[in-house]
Structure 1
Amino acid sequence: MNTLFESGLVWWITAFDLPVISGMFWMIWRTRKECNDSLFHLHEALELRSNQLREALSAFKLEVAKSYASVGDMKDLEFRIVGHLLRIESKLDRTALKAASLQAEKTNNT
């Protein structure tokens, strides 16, 4: 009786299929390892760049905080300038009234 194992199938499996399957397994394993290594390097590069951007943003925020005036400071400055302008306006009004009264006295005296 001729069975599967007696007809050369065992030879075919041991001589051809096992080395091919082993080679394919090794290639898949190596490709997976290379992909994992590449992914790890990409993750490290992304993390490094993210940290650099975070530090640059922090430095920029600090520079802005040091260089630019706050809203409260600007409002305080606006109130001070408006106060000074109102005082100047009142002085000019008084000076104009004095000049008008002096002009009126001058015309009345002549």
Structure 2
Amino acid sequence: MKQMSSLSASALFVVVIVLAQSAPSVAKDRTMTGNIRSFECGDNCYLTIVDTKKAEQVGLCVAPECANWNERTSMPARYKGKRVTVTVGQGQQLNDAGEVMGEMMAFKKIKFLD
């Protein structure tokens, strides 16, 4: 087998670097614990959780547990203040016509702790 010239090897290395940098990053889902502060709907429905560091975290409410809330555009009052662990990932914001407008944090699963 022939050896690559140093110029060819360098060019290949640059191509690999460029491709790696331009590839979309796939962030792994993570979990977060906190208390539900609020739920609001517009074109999308958003859940606000206050995490263990007292920071507000706002994300799309796409978890199966949100399905009825999203349909009714309101969350039953009994869930406000509930302690939860949520699975967090990325979700797509849609406009009223159903067109993708961007991505943001999304709550994919909700586990009620109390």
Higher relative contact order (CA 8 A, sep 6+): 2
TM-score range, shorter chain: under 0.3
Higher helix share: 1
Provide the TM-score with structure 2 as the length reference.
0.26
Greater gyration radius? 1
Provide the TM-score with structure 1 as the length reference.
0.27
Higher strand share: 2
